[in-house]
Amino acid sequence: MSHRFITELQEGDTLKQFFLLRRVEQRLTKGGKPYLDVELADRSGAIKGKVWEEALQKCPGPLAPCDFVAVTGSVEPYQGTPQLTLDFIDTVERLKAKGRPLKDFDPDLLISVTPHDRTRMWAELLELVQSHLRAPLRDLVLALLHKYQTQFIEWPGAQSYHHAYAGGLLEHTWSVARHAVHSLAIYPGLNGDLVLAGAILHDLGKIKELTGPPCAQRTVPGELLGHIVLGWEMIREEARVMNFPDEPLLRSLEHIIIAHHGTMEFGSPVIPRTPEALLVYYLDEIDSKLHMAQGHLESDGSEGDFTSYHRVLGRRLYRPPLPADPPENSPSDNS
Residues 229-268 that bind a second copy (CB under 8 A): 229, 232-233, 236, 248-249, 251-252, 254-255, 258-259, 264-268
Distance in Å, CB of 283 to a second copy, minimum: 8
Strands (DSSP E) found in the chain = 14-28, 34-42, 45-51, 68-78, 81-91, 306-310, 315-318
Distance in Å, CB of 145 to a second copy, minimum: 17
Instruction: Tell me whether residue 213 is exposed, middle or buried, using C-beta atoms within 10 angstroms of its C-beta: 0 to 12, 13 to 18, 19 or more.
Output: buried
The helix/strand/coil state of 109 is: helix
- Closest to a second copy by CB, 213 or 226: 226
What does the alpha-carbon distance between residue 173 and residue 203 come to, in Å, rounded to a whole number?
Answer: 8
- Do you know the residue count of the chain? 335
Q: What is the DSSP string of 118-160?
A: HHHHHHHHHHHHHHH--TTHHHHHHHHHHHTHHHHHH--SSSS
* Residues of this chain, 139-198, that bind a second copy according to CB under 8 A: 175, 178-179, 181-193, 195-196
Binding marks (x or -) toward a second copy, 288..307, rule CB under 8 A?
A: -xx--xx--x-------xx-
Q: H/E element holding 213?
A: none
Sign (positive or negative) of CA dihedral 309, 314, 320, 326: negative
Distances (CA, A) of 232 to 49, 147, 173, 212, 282: 42, 15, 16, 19, 19
* Near a second copy by CB under 8 A: residue from 81, 119, 243, 299: 81
Q: H/E element holding 272?
A: none
Sign (positive or negative) of CA dihedral 297, 298, 301, 305: positive
- Closest to a second copy by CB, 2 or 79: 79
Using the rule CB under 8 A, give the single segment among 42-50, 51-59, 112-120, 286-294 that binds a second copy.
Answer: 286-294
* Residues of this chain, 58-77, that bind a second copy according to CB under 8 A: 77
- Closest to a second copy by CB, 196 or 216: 196
* Near a second copy by CB under 8 A: residue from 134, 149, 302, 309: 134
- Closest to a second copy by CB, 16 or 134: 134
Using the rule CB under 8 A, give the single segment among 29-37, 66-74, 100-108, 153-161 that binds a second copy.
Answer: 29-37
- Closest to a second copy by CB, 107 or 295: 295
- Closest to a second copy by CB, 75 or 86: 75
Distance in Å, CB of 86 to a second copy, minimum: 18
* Residues of this chain, 3-22, that bind a second copy according to CB under 8 A: 11
Distance in Å, CB of 35 to a second copy, minimum: 9
What does the alpha-carbon distance between residue 264 and residue 165 come to, in Å, rounded to a whole number?
Answer: 27
- Closest to a second copy by CB, 92 or 176: 176
Q: Does 126 bind a second copy (CB under 8 A)?
A: no
